[in-house]
């Protein structure tokens, strides 16, 4: 089975091992190990680095504003921006999603509760990762793409994201 696996894609995953393990994972899947991080998601920041945990190297950053960020220097800037502007950005996203009917009122209340109690956890919602990638596939961060697509439709439209990743 191991020889059939061509790559690893994680979404909001925590640090997974020490630097040597992460290097080996990168060598095992050259050009095929990617980790996606959304906004100020807190989960990719644990366990703390001082415990010698690390990520495998290739990060794809999904900004809170729907941008797919690939360059390392740009990713660092986005991390800083979203950390400093966390509260206003989260409030904007929450209200915007509610107005555009992307979230139910109950989920909005849940997101606000997390915002006030565990900052960064509301960016860990799998639905956010999914929606941001769907928006990239449809070429518009402001898309109102259907929440359920046929597998054929997703396969044909996902090629844009695959092309972006392949040409990095």
Residues 94-118 pLDDT 10s: 787 778 777 778 888 888 888 888 8
pLDDT at position 32, please? Answer: 83
User: Is the model's pLDDT at 149 over the cut of 50?
Assistant: no
CA 6 to chain centre: 20
| Contact indicator for 78, 123 with CB cutoff of 8 Å | no
**What are the boundaries of each domain within the chain?**
2-166
Identify which has the larger pLDDT, 139 or 80: 80
Mean pLDDT of 85-92: 81
User: Is the model's pLDDT at 21 over the cut of 80?
Assistant: yes
| The token pair that represents 24 in the structure block | 């080996």
pLDDT at position 47, please? Answer: 93
Identify which has the larger pLDDT, 112 or 163: 112
Place of tokens 């100020």: 40
Question: Cα torsion for 83, 88, 90, 94, to the nearest 10°?
Answer: -170
């Amino acid at each position: 089975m191991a020889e059939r696996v061509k790559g690893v894609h994680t979404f909001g995953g925590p640090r997974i091992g020490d630097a040597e393990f992460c290097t080996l994972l990168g060598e095992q899947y050259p050009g095929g190990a990617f980790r996606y991080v959304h906004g100020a998601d807190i989960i990719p920041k644990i366990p703390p680095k001082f415990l010698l945990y690390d990520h495998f190297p290739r990060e794809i950053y999904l900004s809170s504003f729907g941008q797919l960020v690939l360059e390392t220097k740009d990713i660092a800037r986005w991390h800083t921006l979203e950390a400093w502007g966390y509260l206003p950005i989260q409030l904007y996203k929450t209200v915007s999603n509610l107005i555009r009917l992307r979230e139910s009122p109950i989920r909005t209340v849940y997101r606000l509760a997390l915002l006030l109690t565990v900052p960064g956890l509301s960016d860990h919602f799998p639905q956010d990762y999914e929606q941001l990638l769907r928006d990239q596939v449809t070429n518009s961060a402001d898309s109102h793409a259907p929440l359920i697509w046929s597998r054929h439709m997703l396969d044909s439209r996902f090629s844009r994201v695959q092309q972006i990743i392949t040409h990095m």
